[in-house]
Amino acid sequence: MDVSEKLLRSYATIDEDNDGRIWSWELLNTLGRAGIMPDDPRVRAALDGVRDAAGRPAITPYAQPVQLDFDTFAEVAQHAVVQQALTGDLAVPADEFAEFAHAVERIHADLLDERSGEVADYIPTLRDADPEKFGIAVCTADGQVFSIGDTAEEFSVQSTSKPFSYAIALEQLGPEEVHRWIGQEQSGGPFNDPLLSLGRDGRPHNPMINAGAIGTLALVDAGKDQSGRLTTVQETWRSMTGERPQLHGSTFVAERDTGFGNAAFANALAKVGKLYGASPTDRRAPEDANEFYTMVCSLTMNAERLARAGATLASGGVAPLSGRQVFSADTASRVLSVMGHSGMYNDSGQFSNQVGLPAKSGVSGNVMMVVPSKQMAVVVFSPRLDAVGNSVRGVEVCKRLVNEFGLHPYRAMGAERGRVAAHQIGGHMNEADKRAEAASAADRALGGVARAGSGGAAKVVAADGTGGAVKVADAERTGTTGRRTGQPGHQL
Q: Where are the domains of the chain?
A: 3-87, 106-405, 415-475
Concatenating the DSSP letter of every residue in 88-129 gives T-SSS-HHHHHHHHHHHHHHHHHTTT---SB---SSHHHHTS
Average pLDDT of the residues in 173-196? 78
pLDDT tier, 77 (very low <50, low <70, confident <90, very high otherwise): very high
Q: Is the pLDDT score of 165 beyond 90?
A: yes
Known binding residue 262? Answer is: yes
pLDDT tier, 187 (very low <50, low <70, confident <90, very high otherwise): low
pLDDT of residue 70: 93
Known binding residue 210? Answer is: yes
> CATH class for domain 3-87?
mainly alpha
Q: What percent of the chain has pLDDT over 70?
A: 78
Q: Is the pLDDT score of 90 beyond 80?
A: yes
Residue 480 CB coordination number (10 Å): 12
Distance CA 18, CA 8 (A): 12
Known binding residue 346? Answer is: no
Q: Is the pLDDT score of 67 beyond 80?
A: yes
Q: Is the pLDDT score of 292 beyond 80?
A: yes
Residue 244 CB coordination number (10 Å): 14
Longest CA–CA span in the chain (Å) reads 80
Q: Is the pLDDT score of 214 beyond 70?
A: yes
Distance CA 361, CA 383 (A): 11
pLDDT of residue 325: 98
The secondary structure of residue 278, as a DSSP letter, is -
pLDDT of residue 307: 98
Return mean pLDDT, the chain.
84
Q: Per-residue b/e over 82-103, b at no fewer than 16 CB within 10 Å? A: bbbbbbeebbbbbbbbbbbbbb
Q: Which architecture characterizes domain 106-405 according to CATH?
A: 3-Layer(aba) Sandwich (3.40)
pLDDT of residue 58: 61
Known binding residue 279? Answer is: no
pLDDT of residue 123: 95
Distance CA 49, CA 40 (A): 16
Lowest mean pLDDT among 1-15, 260-274, 383-397, 467-481: 467-481
Known binding residue 255? Answer is: yes
Distance CA 79, CA 102 (A): 28
- First-to-last CA distance in the chain? 24
Known binding residue 410? Answer is: no
What is the pTM for the complete model shown?
Answer: 0.82
pLDDT of residue 182: 95
